[in-house]
């Protein structure tokens, strides 16, 4: 496994991408860390395959979308002057695939994105992937959360003022 020097320096980081709005934030964070640490960065995108398909099946539309996700990340890294390797995986569980791939390639950091979202009722929702990675990854994990939308930050989506 790669070695962190205890001061935030990493030698190999897995950059987990989902094709969502947090991907540019995740890639940007990984680029800054890679430059600072002279680390290798590997972007991965996992196509989740349900039980109606074999793991080796091509899920219609998924390959093209996944390639676009990885191409955008590679372009962002290239513009910043960083080489970014890319890997496309198919798995039953995205979180497990991220952790397993990071361990298999000897990564000492996983960078994963977390969009700010709420579920019905207004509770903050983390989904399944980030909690799985945080609980199971043997290496350091950096969670990059998107900003809270202005209407949620000032409470206007949850509070209604009553005036006489």
User: CB-based contacts of 120: which residues, under 8 Å, 6+ apart?
Assistant: none
Q: How far apart are CA 22 and CA 44, in angstroms?
A: 14
pTM (predicted TM-score):
0.82
- What is the mean predicted confidence (pLDDT) over 12-26? 95
Counts for the chain of helices (H) and strands (E), in that order = 5, 5
Q: What is the CATH number of the domain that holds 17?
A: 3.40.50.620
CB of 93 closer than 8 Å to CB of 101 = no
Q: Is residue 160 part of a domain?
A: no
Q: Is residue 133 part of a domain?
A: yes
Q: Is residue 163 part of a domain?
A: no
**Number of domain units in the chain:** 1
Q: Is residue 59 part of a domain?
A: yes
Q: Is residue 6 part of a domain?
A: no
Q: Residue 156: its pLDDT value, please?
A: 45
49-103 pLDDT, tens digit each: 877 667 777 776 777 888 999 999 999 999 999 999 999 998 999 999 999 999 9
Q: Is residue 3 part of a domain?
A: no
109-158 pLDDT, tens digit each: 999 999 888 777 667 778 899 999 999 999 999 999 988 877 666 654 44
Q: Which domain holds residue 56?
A: 12-145
Q: Is residue 90 part of a domain?
A: yes
Q: Is residue 156 part of a domain?
A: no
What mean pLDDT is reported for the chain?
84
């Amino acid at each position: 496994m790669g070695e962190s020097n205890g001061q935030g320096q990493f030698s190999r980081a897995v950059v987990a991408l989902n094709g969502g709005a947090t991907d540019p934030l995740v890639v940007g964070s990984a680029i800054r860390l890679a430059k600072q640490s002279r680390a290798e960065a590997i972007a991965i995108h996992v196509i989740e395959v349900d039980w109606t398909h074999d793991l080796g099946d091509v899920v219609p539309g998924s390959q093209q979308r996944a390639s676009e996700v990885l191409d955008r990340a590679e372009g962002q890294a290239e513009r910043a002057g960083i080489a970014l390797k890319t890997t496309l995986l198919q798995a039953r569980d995205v979180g497990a695939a991220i952790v397993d791939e990071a361990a298999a390639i000897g990564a000492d950091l996983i960078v994963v994105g977390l969009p700010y979202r709420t579920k019905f009722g207004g509770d903050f929702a983390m989904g399944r992937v980030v909690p799985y990675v945080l609980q199971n990854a043997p290496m350091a994990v950096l969670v990059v959360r998107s900003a809270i939308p202005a209407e949620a930050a000032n409470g206007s989506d949850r509070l209604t003022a009553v005036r006489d």
